[in-house]
Structure 1
């Protein structure tokens, strides 16, 4: 898909970034609504006090609701790399999806056209492209287990997961240390942390902590 000019659909739900902060992260969400149009209405309704910078429909239609230099209200409470107020540190992208089905190729292509432009404008590294569930473990689960993070990583638009055939001993302590080094610094219990990391790197993972949960976090 070529081109990435968004349709401007301004939301009143925004404000200035606080304390002189600028975007260091891109946070991906799913809308969990019936349609892109329903999500667009919600994100632009002052009664709901939520917004995002961009919304991408399942057919690849791209809307922009908030200027990138302004603070959209998409992330809420959470923490990443020891930092809070993620709204002031990030650009939010909503994807039209309920979380229970794959993300269509036209939508992914549009996202893949948009991400490098944002990353270049704000000097955001692939490690700065995260999911809502990464910075709000236990509270949020989007963009969910159906989102293809490996596809983004292969293109250089997200942190790649390490792959190794060598077994690595995994304990709650070693797992938490590795997860924190990758950015998962929110104070949550071991089970919630494991669930959040699996959503990002091993959505098919089940059962107790194992070496395959630790391996993707290692450099």
Structure 2
């Protein structure tokens, strides 16, 4: 495995909101999220600005709580299927927050986080499913500890705190793409 693993289907974006995983940590979980900034608006530059540390917190009233926030994902898939990668897969992105999977906390230590441009109740696009499926298959080959059972939503590792990717995410459709 290379020192910095970058997807060949993603555009690389500069980000400093990541660090090293704990020594000898096996990547074994894929977490699917959603995000839109402002909430429910698509095609804006603000998610990219957030993950690259350049968001203007005065650009929209809802951004006031984002001031000083240091958050990232490994990848972000726009509605048109464009994949942006912020953090090398072998590094720890700051996407899960307070989280637990199978009795183990600190999911950022052993997971990869993929953000979809969307909301819990807005259907995701065909292009997003296609790109997410391709990316997930590549990640499962690179990190064999990621199995179908270890692909979850943010809601599954932070219940009561997070709801994404939401009711609009078609899990069966996604799993059919990664058979």
**TM (normalized to structure 1)?**
0.67
Give secondary structure in 1 for the equivalent of 2:96.
coil
* Aligned mate of 1:112, from 121, 127, 133: 133
Query: How much has 1:78 moved relative to structure 2?
Result: 1.4
* Aligned mate of 2:50, from 33, 42, 45: 42
Mapped partners of 1:67, 1:152: distance in 2: 23
Question: Counting helix residues as a fraction of each chain, which structure ranks higher?
Answer: 1
Give secondary structure in 2 for the equivalent of 1:108.
helix
1:33-82 alpha-carbon deviations (Å, 9 max, x no partner)? 23352111111217321000000000000000000010000001111111
Query: How much has 1:10 moved relative to structure 2?
Result: 2.0
Contact preservation (8 Å) 1:26, 1:91: yes
Mapped partners of 2:127, 2:175: distance in 1: 18
Question: Counting strand residues as a fraction of each chain, which structure ranks higher?
Answer: 2
Does residue 27 of the first structure (1) align with residue 35 of the second (2)?
Answer: no
Of structures 1 and 2, the one scoring higher in RCO (CA 8 A, sep 6+) is 2
Mapped partners of 2:75, 2:89: distance in 1: 9
Structure 2 counterparts to residues 147-166 of structure 1, below 5 A? 147-156=169-178
Q: Which of structure 1's runs of 4+ aligned residues deviate more than 2 A?
A: 32-37, 153-157
Structure 1 unpaired stretches of 5+: 158-219
Contact preservation (8 Å) 1:22, 1:89: yes
Query: How much has 1:102 moved relative to structure 2?
Result: 0.1
Alignment RMSD? 1.7
Contact preservation (8 Å) 2:119, 2:164: no
1:63 corresponds to which residue? 84
Contact preservation (8 Å) 2:133, 2:178: no
Structure 2 unpaired stretches of 5+: 1-6, 55-67
* Greater Rg over alpha carbons, structure: 1
Give secondary structure in 1 for the equivalent of 2:98.
coil
1:187 corresponds to which residue? none
**TM (normalized to structure 2)?**
0.81
Give secondary structure in 1 for the equivalent of 2:104.
coil
Query: How much has 1:156 moved relative to structure 2?
Result: 4.2
Contact preservation (8 Å) 1:99, 1:143: yes
Task: Give the aligned length.
Answer: 155
Give secondary structure in 2 for the equivalent of 1:116.
helix
